[in-house]
Structure 1
Amino acid sequence: MKNIAIIPARGGSKRIPEKNIQLFGGLPLLVHSIQYAVANSAFIDAIYVSTDDPTIKAIALAYGAKVIDRPDHLSGDLEPTLTAVQHVLGNIGFEVENVILLQPTNPLRPPNLLKDCLEKFQNEKVDSLFTVTQNHQKFGKITSGTFVPFNYEIGQRSQDLEPLYFENGLLYITKAKSILENKIITKNAFPYLVNHIFAHVDIDTKEDMEYAEYLIEKVSRPRST
């Protein structure tokens, strides 16, 4: 197969218990990433959910994904996403060319994002691509009770800041061979810029969930004429 999507969704979560199956927009959180992959089936040959949780497994199967049972030793709080993705590649029984990584904690994505990212990935001839968003805030550190600016000088206007970017987690595309060499983001990774409100949604806390609920309601609300 050329492209497969992998959605890592373990059962444990500290800040939001059973986060991946909490209802969001009327559906379990995990389902939004599965549905996004299904909607992009023109570019994805198969969809896999990696999980250690029987409830997540049942939900994933019900919504059209295949499931790879993740062993306990790859499901701890400190276990990196990389090992879960490698485990999927080692247990599907065939070789693939590219992996599209979709995190369930990023349930909102622009509809054409995957299509555009795949085109850029292929045109740039890189080993991986990941999505980024520009930051417009003034950052600093507090050292010995004193605030020390990091990316600006006191009094500098925000619009004059040197651009900084953050990894927003919307999606990753990586050659399978690079993942097996322990890299999701490779040295030649292409940073794909996403200027969209969805890029600021990464659900880790209840406040994140509430903000995402606000956005999905706003987007789905009919416009008045």
Structure 2
Amino acid sequence: MTTLATICARGGSKGLPGKNILPFAGLPLIAHSIRFALQHPAIGAVHVSTDDPEIARIAREHGATVPYLRPAELARDDTPKLPVIEHLVAHLEAQGSIVTRIVDLQPTSPLRAPVDLDGCLARFEAPDAPDLVLSVFDSGFNPYFNLVEELPAGRVCISKGGGLGARQNAPKVWALNGSIYVWRREALAHAARHGLWSVSVAAYAMPAQRSVDIDTADDFALAEWLHHRQPA
């Protein structure tokens, strides 16, 4: 397959301003995802979509291609991610690129390991291959056991099912960690119009210690601590 990596990094961040280029373990945060993709043999090229000139400059310095600055209508706080990826891939195809598979990497997930992408790609290439493989982790929370939701009168009830006395009896559930998405090209185009869950989806489970998604200063500190605990 012709596989490219996409990294979407908007300049505006409310929870942690400038988070995509903050220094993390000696490099701008986004550089970790760029280098991760460039070092993987399955990926032919790395492309960054950003509206921010400084992010674009740093991304290029670390080996990524930034074909344009993202239009303002695709860089709002409430802009969904899928149309941004589709916009980037469609632009590359208009320039002559042939794309059959897209690996989208979240720049705020610097702790992923090559084995995680290997696992996603293996699931994607299985005989019963889905349209999308995404990474998940066990958060410890379960709607059948310890997640509740508020009722109109202000009371709460268990979110799903009648409530179970032991976690072991609850169906297994996973939390999305946002780290890795592997898309079939046609499925990405469909999902950009109709939503992520309009295509067939399979999951690859990553350990919780590699699943931190940096959105706040506390997330950043935790990710740095976990990074320094990783074996060299």
Q: TM-score with structure 2 length normalisation?
A: 0.87
Alignment of 1:86-165 (within 5 A): 86-92=86-92, 93=95, 94-123=97-126, 124-137=128-141, 138-143=146-151, 144-151=153-160, 156-165=165-174
Aligned counterpart, 1:17: 17
Shift, 1:125, TM fit: 2.5
Give 1:7 shift.
0.2
What's 1:172 paired with? 181
Would you say 1:189 and 2:201 are equivalent positions?
yes
1:29/1:107 contact within 8 Å kept: yes
Equivalents in 1 of 2:28, 2:157: separation in Å?
42
Mapped to 1, the partners of 2:177 and 2:71 lie a distance apart of 28
Q: Which runs of 5+ in 2 are unaligned?
A: none
2:213 alignment counterpart: 202
Pick which of 109-118 and 184-193 moved more. Answer: 184-193
**Equivalent residue letter for 1:161:** A
Rounded to whole Å, the distance in 2 between the matches of 1:128 and 1:36 is 20
Partner deviation per Cα, 1:180-211 (whole Å, 9 max, x = no partner): 22255553111222234212x01111111111
Moved more, 86-95 or 71-80: 86-95
In 1, Cα distance between equivalents of 2:3 and 2:198: 18
SS at match of 1:112: helix
Q: Is the 8 A contact 2:139 2:208 kept in 1?
A: no
Instruction: State how far apart, in whole Å, the 1-side matches of 2:162 and 2:228 are.
Output: 39
Distance in 1, Cα, partners of 2:161 & 2:24: 38
Distance 1:214 1:58 in 2: 28
Q: Equivalent residue for 1:47? A: 46
Q: CA deviation at 1:108?
A: 0.9
Paired AA for residue 114 in structure 1: L
Amino acid at match of 1:46: A
User: What code does the residue aligned with 1:187 have?
Assistant: V
Query: RMSD of the alignment, in Å?
Result: 2.0
Contact 1:51 1:68 in 2 (8 A): no
Structure 1 position 81, deviation (Å): 0.9
Equivalents in 2 of 1:3, 1:110: separation in Å? 18
Taking only the aligned residue pairs, the percentage that are identical comes to 33
Check the 8 A contact 2:119/2:204 in 1, yes or no: no
Distance in 2 between residues matched to 1:97 and 1:167, nearest whole Å: 24
> Counterparts of 1:13 and 1:170 in 2: how far apart (Å)?
18
2:63 paired residue number: 64
Q: Secondary structure at the match of 2:186?
A: helix
How far apart are the structure 2 equivalents of 1:66 and 1:97? 18
Structure 1 residues 82, 38: CA separation in 2 closer, same or farther (over 3 Å shift)? Answer: same
Q: How does the TM-score come out when normalised to structure 1?
A: 0.89
Cα distance in 2 for residues equivalent to 1:27 and 1:149: 43
In structure 1, C-alpha distance between the alignment counterparts of 2:164 and 2:189, rounded to whole Å? 48
Aligned to 1:85: 85
Distance 2:188 2:60 in 1: 25
CA deviation digits over 1:162-194, x for unaligned, max 9?
222111112001111222222555531112222
Q: How many residues align?
A: 219
Greater strand fraction, Structure 1 or Structure 2: 1
Relative to structure 1, the CA distance from residue 118 to residue 154 in structure 2 (aligned partners, 3 Å threshold; closer, same or farther) is: closer
**Helix, strand or coil at the partner of 2:66:** strand
